[in-house]
């Protein structure tokens, strides 16, 4: 939530400039210019003649318009043109898809089989540690009935404590094996074609099975310093094979430190 409030606060100048543009086009009372009328409205009676001129309204409007556009470009467009330090990656094979013996206990009789854990990797391309990183599931389409994990944290791989934030150290290995891995799906394949699927959100006790189907997934990772990475992924069942988990689109946004440098 800290990240969003930073963007809200930084958007205040755009709001002020927009109100300035609006004030130059409307008037609370009759006067030679709208600017003069607003100054009179706030108790300033002796207005300089150059402010009372009708052309002042035009100048104020265009100054507000140029300022609004310049700040919007600085705030919204420039960060999108730069890559941030935090990114999300998927590759084939382990540990992105980890296979282990598993037991499904959701049925009346426990069923043995293979458990496939589908993961994403968090990559830190900087030389400094990204602290208090959170990873959340922001969307799952087609959303299953009685699915309540949207907005929930995803589980850090091999973590039994249920941590919702953690540090991501610089990624140095060329194969990204030193990245931080986060579980997204668990797919259980049992005998005679039996299978089941769940999302690895926290807390784990709410992870009910969902239908084995194609899902469009959106995930967001944010750090304490405002670094952000968003990913659009697809979970795709395949006949006679284990499902495929693909990264469709990834965007990385710089944080406060990166933006000021």
Q: Which position has the token pair 């941030």?
A: 84
Domain spans of the chain, in order of start: 2-81, 86-260
Task: Count Cα neighbours of 165 within 13 Å in the Cβ-side half-sphere.
Answer: 9
Return the higher-pLDDT residue of 19 and 79.
19
CA angle 159, 163, 164 (to 5 degrees): 130
Cα separation, 84 vs 68, in Å, equals 25
pLDDT tens digits, residue range 56-85? 777 777 887 888 888 777 666 555 444 679
**What pTM was estimated for this model as a whole?**
0.68
In this prediction, residue 189 carries a pLDDT of 94
Structure tokens at 97: 């898809």
């Amino acid at each position: 939530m800290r990240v969003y409030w930073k963007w809200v606060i930084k958007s205040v100048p755009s709001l002020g400039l927009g109100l300035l543009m609006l004030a130059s086009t409307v008037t609370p009372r009759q006067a030679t210019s709208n600017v003069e009328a607003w100054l009179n409205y706030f108790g300033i009676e002796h207005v300089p003649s150059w402010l009372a001129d009708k052309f002042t309204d035009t100048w104020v409007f265009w100054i507000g318009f140029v300022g609004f556009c310049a700040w919007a470009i600085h705030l919204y467009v420039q960060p999108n043109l730069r890559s941030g330090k935090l990114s999300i990656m998927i590759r084939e094979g382990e540990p992105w898809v980890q296979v282990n013996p598993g037991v499904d206990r959701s049925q009346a009789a426990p069923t043995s089989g293979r458990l496939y854990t589908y993961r994403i990797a968090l990559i830190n391309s900087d030389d400094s540690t990204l602290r208090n990183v959170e990873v959340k599931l922001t969307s799952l389409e087609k959303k299953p009935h009685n699915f309540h994990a949207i907005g929930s944290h995803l589980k850090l791989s091999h973590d039994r404590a249920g941590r919702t934030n953690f540090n991501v150290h610089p990624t140095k290995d060329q194969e990204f094996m030193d990245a931080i891995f986060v579980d997204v799906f668990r797919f259980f394949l049992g005998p005679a074609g039996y299978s089941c699927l769940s999302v690895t959100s926290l807390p784990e006790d709410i992870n009910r099975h969902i239908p084995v189907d194609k899902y469009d997934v959106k995930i967001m990772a944010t750090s304490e310093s405002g670094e952000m990475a968003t990913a659009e992924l697809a979970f795709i069942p395949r006949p006679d094979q284990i499902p495929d988990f693909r990264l469709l689109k990834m965007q990385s946004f710089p944080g406060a430190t990166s933006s000021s440098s």
